[in-house]
Structure 1
Amino acid sequence: MNQIFLITDIPGFTPQVSRLLSMMNYARFTTLEEVKDLTVQELDFLMDSNSNSIGALLMHFAAVEYAYQVGTFEKRELNEEEIAIWGVALSLGEEGREKIKGNELSYYTEQLEAVRHRTYELFRTVNDEWLYTEEEFWAQQQANYYFMWFHVFEDEINHRGQIRMIRKRMDK
């Protein structure tokens, strides 16, 4: 991430894939900057009984990215084993508040890094043309893989706003 402020070619990837990954990397960089040095207590903080914790949101980012890997590269839904691992983080809610807690920041960053590493490996297998592959998406709408992967980091950016709001509400 030494060229984090450049949307540019990345060796080993086609031009549009490189630009997509550049944007994903910047979104992740800003997320990690926002959460660096948070304690377990801060990662588990809930503003109210309906909110998500920062830790749960970090797991959500990893889960969404993993789900899009499976959907776009493997053309399938998550299986039972994968749902056992990622399902709570995908849906969050009450179960997320109960189960995603008590972890150090390193736990979440390792999950994020492992999933991103797999994303890189998968993107090495495709070219720019693949990004324009269209499939049925939300509510039977057509979308291409470019949009779907844009949504992966757009979702992270959206929830990072929640992280910033949660941090402002924490008792310091």
Structure 2
Amino acid sequence: MKLLFKCFLICLVLPVISTNAQEINSTKGYDTHIGVMVYMLEDLKSEIVSSTRGLNQFETDFQFDKQANSIGAIILHLAAVEVAYQKTSFGEYMNNEYEKEEQELLEMSIDLDTTKELLKEKPIKYYLSIYKKVRKNTLRELKNRNDNWWTKNSHWAWFHVMEHQANHYGQIKLIKARFPK
């Protein structure tokens, strides 16, 4: 009976689940290719935010060894790298979207190795609010662009932003798995 049930799952249910899981749409309000990237970036952001929901201060700052990063530092680093690509894609005026303190923090957070010890004692909501503000600015700017601009100028950059965030999402999951029990 167990074998029959496993066969049922593998043959009938799994293909339906995996087909749906691989569906990527274009977000409405954007040109088609930009909308696809927005869909993927937002899906990944949702996973990152969800994975950090409810972290306490110890968990936000936890490093499982001296070379490891904290989740708080990683979130700010993700925002910092996205801002760097905003400037590359949209122009230096993107600095004007951030308060002076945010600009300094984001510039410092590009290099995780030098900032991981400094980025502590802030609640996870602090880091997430900056991350979400950065993404809001990205989405606003992408909405003002078209697919012609995208394919000639920036699709490679935003693919890298997504790839970078996916790598650090894996790191966040690893850190959480190493929390002391």
- TM-score scaled to structure 1, two decimals? 0.82
Q: Which of 25-34 and 83-92 deviates more?
A: 83-92
What is the aligned partner in structure 1 of residue 152 from structure 2?
133
Asked if 1:98 is matched to 2:98, the reply is no
Q: How big is the shift at 1:5? A: 8.1
Equivalent of 1:152 in 156, 161, 179: 161
Q: Which runs of 5+ in 1 are unaligned?
A: 135-144
Paired with 1:67 and 1:82, the residues of 2 have a C-alpha distance of 13
Structure with the bigger percentage of helix: 2
Tell me which structure has the larger Cα radius of gyration. Answer: 2
Q: How big is the shift at 1:77? A: 10
Q: How big is the shift at 1:87? A: 2.3
CA-to-partner distance for each residue in 1:102-159, whole Å, 9 max, x for gaps? 111111111111011101110111101111225xxxxxxxxxx111101111101101
Paired with 1:5 and 1:33, the residues of 2 have a C-alpha distance of 20
Paired with 1:55 and 1:82, the residues of 2 have a C-alpha distance of 15
The residue matched to 1:90 in structure 2 has which SS?
Answer: coil
Paired with 1:6 and 1:128, the residues of 2 have a C-alpha distance of 21
Structure with the bigger percentage of strand: 1
Q: Which runs of 5+ in 2 are unaligned?
A: 1-20
Q: How big is the shift at 1:6? A: 5.6
Paired with 1:131 and 1:72, the residues of 2 have a C-alpha distance of 9
What is the aligned partner in structure 1 of residue 137 from structure 2?
118
Paired with 1:146 and 1:16, the residues of 2 have a C-alpha distance of 9
RMSD: 2.4
